């Protein structure tokens, strides 16, 4: 399987403020009644958008100034809760190709990496600065460089460092982010291990 080497992601950004944004919020459970992931993109943040409207506010994903954004920016513990891969699948199908947040829940982080969506951690201050730049100039191009661990923008003097653990960076930049090929390569070793473990060998 040949996958794209993801060394850089460039695009417009959108800031969705808030901490502890859970995967129910990203894709409410009723949209999981499906046997494929197709079509999930349009339901990303469906209830959050409605709630903002009801409160007389505009959810950032409903704000036309941010149409076409491919980089999602948010707060801490992003993607907590349910293990549903439907959440990163919905974000990917909506058009997001990278996520910047203060921190990520572990299962969401792994699910996203497997889909080739880099999830990078940046400080609260740098996120606030980047959000302010995007608010002022929504057309600004944001670039994540996975080799340099830096976020830059095209026309303003903004540089911020991010962190991405090696076990996620390596597969992304080397085009091995979907681990199935590596796992299949190890099948002989898998069978040997199964034979050596009593509760599996005896079955």
The residues of the shown chain that bind other proteins, judged by CB under 8 A, are: 17-20, 22, 24-25, 28-30, 32-37, 47-48, 50-51, 55, 75-77, 80-86, 88, 103-107, 110-111, 114-115, 165-168, 170-171, 174, 176, 178-180, 182-184, 186-187, 189-190, 193-194, 197-200, 202-203
Q: CA triplet 70, 75, 78: central angle to 5 degrees? A: 75
Q: How far is the CB of 8 from other proteins (least distance, A)?
A: 19
Q: How many angstroms separate the Cα of 75 from the Cα of each of 19, 33, 177, 184?
A: 5, 28, 24, 36
Minimum distance from residue 81 beta carbon to other proteins (Å) = 6
Cβ proximity to other proteins, 12 vs 91, nearer residue:
91
**Cβ nearer to other proteins, comparing 68 with 165:** 165
Q: Are 172 and 113 in contact (CB under 8 A)?
A: yes
| Cβ–Cβ under 8 Å, residues 158 and 143 | no
Minimum gap (Å) between residue 76 Cβ and other proteins: 7
In this structure, what DSSP letter does residue 89 have?
H
């Amino acid at each position: 399987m040949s996958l794209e080497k993801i060394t850089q992601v460039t695009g417009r950004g959108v800031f969705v403020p808030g901490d502890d944004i859970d995967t129910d919020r990203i894709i409410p459970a009723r949209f999981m009644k499906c046997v494929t992931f197709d079509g999930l993109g349009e339901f990303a943040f469906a209830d959050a958008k409605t709630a903002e409207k009801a409160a007389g506010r505009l959810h950032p994903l409903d704000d036309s100034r941010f149409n076409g954004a491919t980089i999602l920016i948010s707060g801490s513990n992003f993607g907590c809760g349910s293990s549903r891969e439907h959440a990163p699948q919905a974000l990917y199908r909506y058009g997001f190709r990278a996520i910047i947040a203060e921190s990520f829940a572990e299962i969401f982080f792994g699910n996203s990496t497997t889909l080739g969506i880099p999830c990078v951690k940046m400080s609260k201050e740098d996120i606030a600065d980047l959000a302010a730049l995007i608010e002022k100039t929504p057309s600004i191009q944001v670039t994540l460089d996975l080799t340099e661990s830096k976020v830059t923008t095209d026309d303003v003097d903004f540089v911020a460092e991010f962190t991405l653990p090696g076990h996620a960076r390596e597969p992304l930049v080397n085009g091995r982010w979907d681990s199935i090929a590596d796992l299949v390569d190890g099948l002989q070793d898998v069978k040997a291990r199964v034979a050596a473990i009593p509760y599996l060998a005896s079955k």
